[in-house]
Amino acid sequence: MPKTLFDKVWESHVVDRMEDGTCVLYIDRHLVHEVTSPQAFEGLRLAGRTVRRPDATIAVVDHNVPTTDRREPIREEESRVQVETLERNVADFGVPFFPINDTRQGIVHIIGPEQGISLPGMTIVCGDSHTSTHGAMGALAFGIGTSEVEHVLATQTLLQKPAKNMLVQVDGTIGAGVTAKDIVLAIIGKIGTAGGTGHVIEYAGEAIRALDMAGRMTICNMSIEAGARAGMIAPDDTTFAYIKGRPFAPKDDAFDHAVAYWRTLPSDPGAHYDTVVHLDAGAIAPMVSWGTNPEAVLPITGTVPDPASVTDDAARAQMIRMLDYMALTPGTKLTDVPVDVVFIGSCTNGRIEDIRAAATIVRGKKVAPGVRAMVVPGSGVVKQQAEQEGLDRIMLDAGFEWREAGCSMCLGMNPDKLKPGERCASTSNRNFEGRQGPGGRTHLLSPAMAAAAAVTGHLTDVRELS
Amino acid sequence: MQAFTELTGIAAPLPLANVDTDKIIPARFLKTIKRTGLGVHLFDTLRYGPAGEERPDFVLNQAPYRHAEILVAHENFGCGSSREHAPWALLDFGIRCVIAPSFADIFHNNCYKNGILPVTLPREICDQLMDDARLGGNARITVDLVRQVVIRPSGEEIAFAIDPFRKHLMLNGLDDIGQTLQRATKIDGFEGNRTAEQPWFPGITV
């Protein structure tokens, strides 16, 4: 029977299957960060358990860390305690760790692929919903809760039922100024925040194949915003070229053996998908979110929607609430919406390619008066690379802040947050109420669109910027 | 984990769809290294005003619902992040059961790990239970996991589905890890075969 990419990776990791279909699923890579792991390590200690496979585990600090000078201790006590707790736990349990001053430190979903830790055909988990990012490698990667983190640490397995298969086919080619971020926002806008519930999404089609690995990671990263358990893209020559030579990737003969295996992973012709969705890449414009969940998106050419045009009572009430929170008036052109802050970074768009895209727009221009703009590289390695390319100078000369690596303003857990009422053009992944700080207002968009908003001071169609 | 067999209590109506985990517990409260003590921050932005004062119109600030043990909500409850702090906050407040037309996958999983029963029922049934919940202290809803029924104040019984394995763990308050470790020999065997068949994956050492 023809199988999907998901079927193949799933079936090759089933250790045992119970009567009701629940499987004991083997986990190849476990990524650990400071926020969702302390209670898991504490659980191990209380039960007298050890970490079964420290050599399949990697820990890093990202959510809490300030993105300012790393020589300073973390001022906020609770954040410091959480970071120190992880440092103690990795030492006690022998878990490999990239500490705060290691160049390899960064957002957990940036460093996995970057270091060659996340590879095709693997099962990869992390106590973080954006683990779906690693699916871009052709891996089955998904977020888990802290109890499951403890379960993986103790057993290197998880108890899971198989997901359904969804195919999102994006045919054609994207136009100038349109990026992977716009594709995924268009997908979520089409299928909704619960459209992928119970499914693993496989992204396929000409427009997906044409993306570089950074773009593929952006797409898979936001699978969870469509409610999917994971997102995957079949590994191909683009994938293998990306992996070759990375620090933890197989080397020499081992690499060739691995590639031969990875070539068996793509979905078989005729494989069954429970749900199929088609998009025409050529019809996708640069996208921006206007509301407080990631399905509330529109092309930048659009206007703020009018609740009066919505017939369903509950949907209308939700739209009114969202517009009220976002302080937007129906009928306003999206390009007339001013911004206070621009944030370029996060596990969605904190890679070198994202910073290059922003720098291309910003080069020779200035951040608009009154706008605070910041670039937060996704890892120390990304930061170093950008500095070697001179991208930091371009951004600094334009008036951007140039920060150290971390989750930063994506989630309001560290000193980088919005003030109440501030409006932010953000390359991150969630526009929930208060996500970037209590009362903060988020517009999700691509790095190029964020850069364009920074230099004009309002949401801008990057295609019309000279 | 506390076992869940049968629960009779006050249900709080929360007629909202897409209640995300940032709404259940904002990220700034995730800096704890403990599982307990998060109940006070449950639904923080809905529950408190800018100065930290209670918003009287929010359901959990109203007298009977301060003691709610059941929550009735709309579609896609718990969407967003994987934070287990969301069920920890619910549990710490006293909620042992959430009833909704649908749940986000990771949140749904996380509930079971903490002895919170997520019950999925069609929207129209949830709307009836929402009306029951609006009766406040004058009504009690029963959730009987053994018989897999929700019992309305009228006595009407509504059946719900649950995976047999999950049910077994919940009824007996069993820890997942203990269950899995009973299969340690199988894990050893799988791991051995995998290393033999795919020896090219290097381990991580830094």
Q: What is the tens place of the pLDDT at every residue in A86-138?
A: 999 999 999 999 999 999 999 999 999 999 999 999 999 999 999 999 999 99
The span from the CA of B113 to the CA of B106, in Å, is: 11
The span from the CA of A406 to the CA of A271, in Å, is: 39
The pLDDT value recorded for residue A72 is 86
**Which positions in chain B touch A197 (Cβ < 8 Å)?**
76, 102, 104-105
Would you place residue A435 in the very low, low, confident or very high pLDDT band (cuts 50, 70, 90)?
very high
The beta-carbon neighbor of B200 closest among A98, A159, A250 is: A250
Among B1, B21, B33, which would you mutate to test the A interface (most chain A Cβ atoms within 10 Å of its Cβ)? B33
The span from the CA of A85 to the CA of A65, in Å, is: 13
Q: What is the mean pLDDT of residues B95-101?
A: 98
Chain A CB within 8 Å of residue B66 CB: no
Say whether pLDDT at B29 is over 90: yes
The predicted-structure confidence for A165-199, as pLDDT tens digits, reads as follows 999 999 999 999 999 999 999 999 999 999 999 99
The beta-carbon neighbor of B190 closest among A26, A81, A229 is: A26
Residue pointed to by tokens 């589905």:
B161
The span from the CA of B8 to the CA of B188, in Å, is: 44
Q: What angle do CA B120, B117, B103 make, to 5 degrees?
A: 40
Q: What is the mean pLDDT of residues B63-78?
A: 97
The predicted-structure confidence for A442-462, as pLDDT tens digits, reads as follows 999 999 999 999 999 999 999
Sign of the torsion formed by the C-alpha atoms of A69, A71, A77 and A80: positive
Chain B CB within 8 Å of residue A236 CB: no
The beta-carbon neighbor of B180 closest among A47, A151, A255 is: A151
The predicted-structure confidence for A85-97, as pLDDT tens digits, reads as follows 999 999 999 999 9
CB spacing of B186 vs A193 below 8 angstroms: no
Q: DSSP letters of A349-360?
A: H-SHHHHHHHHH
Task: Give the residue on B whose Cα is nearest the Cα of A105.
Answer: B206
Chain A CB within 8 Å of residue B23 CB: yes
pLDDT over 70 percentage in chain A: 100
> What ipTM was estimated for this complex?
0.96
Would you place residue B201 in the very low, low, confident or very high pLDDT band (cuts 50, 70, 90)?
confident
The predicted-structure confidence for A51-89, as pLDDT tens digits, reads as follows 999 999 999 999 999 999 888 889 999 999 999 999 999
The predicted-structure confidence for A204-231, as pLDDT tens digits, reads as follows 999 999 999 999 999 999 999 999 999 9
pLDDT over 70 percentage in chain B: 100
Task: Give the residue on B whose Cα is nearest the Cα of A130.
Answer: B81
Structural tokens at position A34: 């400071």
Say whether pLDDT at B200 is over 90: no
With CA atoms as reference, report the closest residue to B117 among B84, B181, B56, B71. Answer: B71
The Cα of B81 is separated from the nearest Cα of chain A by a number of Å equal to 5
The beta-carbon neighbor of A197 closest among B31, B104, B200 is: B104
The pLDDT value recorded for residue B204 is 93
- Which helix (H) or strand (E) covers residue B181, if one does? helix B176-181
Say whether pLDDT at A352 is over 80: yes
**Which positions in chain A touch B79 (Cβ < 8 Å)?**
193-194, 227, 293
CB-CB contact of A314 with A378 (8 Å): no
With CA atoms as reference, report the closest residue to A246 among A146, A121, A62, A119. Answer: A119
With CA atoms as reference, report the closest residue to A165 among A69, A270, A271. Answer: A271
Q: What angle do CA A86, A91, A95 make, to 5 degrees?
A: 80
CB spacing of B82 vs A64 below 8 angstroms: no
Would you place residue B206 in the very low, low, confident or very high pLDDT band (cuts 50, 70, 90)?
confident
How distant, in Å, are the alpha carbons of B4, B65, B87, B135, B180 from that of B118? 11, 19, 10, 22, 22
For chain B positions 110-129, those within 8 Å of chain A (CB to CB) are 110, 113-114
> What is the rounded average pLDDT for all residues in chain A?
97
A-B CB pairs within 8 A amount to: 196
**Which positions in chain B touch A119 (Cβ < 8 Å)?**
201
The pLDDT value recorded for residue A231 is 98
The pLDDT value recorded for residue A288 is 98
The beta-carbon neighbor of B165 closest among A22, A104, A435 is: A22
Say whether pLDDT at A394 is over 80: yes
CB spacing of B79 vs A227 below 8 angstroms: yes
The span from the CA of A367 to the CA of A454, in Å, is: 5
For chain A positions 239-278, those within 8 Å of chain B (CB to CB) are 248, 250, 254-255, 257-258, 261
Chain B CB within 8 Å of residue A415 CB: no
Task: Number of helices (H) and strands (E) in chain B: give both, helices first.
Answer: 8, 8
The predicted-structure confidence for A234-259, as pLDDT tens digits, reads as follows 999 999 999 999 999 999 999 999 99
Amino acid at A410: C
Say whether pLDDT at A466 is over 80: no
CB spacing of B163 vs A161 below 8 angstroms: yes
Chain A CB within 8 Å of residue B41 CB: no
The pLDDT value recorded for residue A369 is 98
Which residues on neighbouring strands pair with residue B141, listed in sequence order?
A: B9
Sign of the torsion formed by the C-alpha atoms of A337, A341, A346 and A352: positive
- Phi, psi (rounded to 5 degrees) for A197: -55, 130
Which residues on neighbouring strands pair with residue B11, listed in sequence order?
A: B70
The predicted-structure confidence for B132-163, as pLDDT tens digits, reads as follows 999 999 999 999 999 999 999 999 999 999 99
The beta-carbon neighbor of A58 closest among B80, B83, B204 is: B204
Q: Do the bridges between strand B141-144 and strand B6-9 make them parallel or antiparallel, or are there none, so unpaired?
A: antiparallel
The pLDDT value recorded for residue B175 is 87
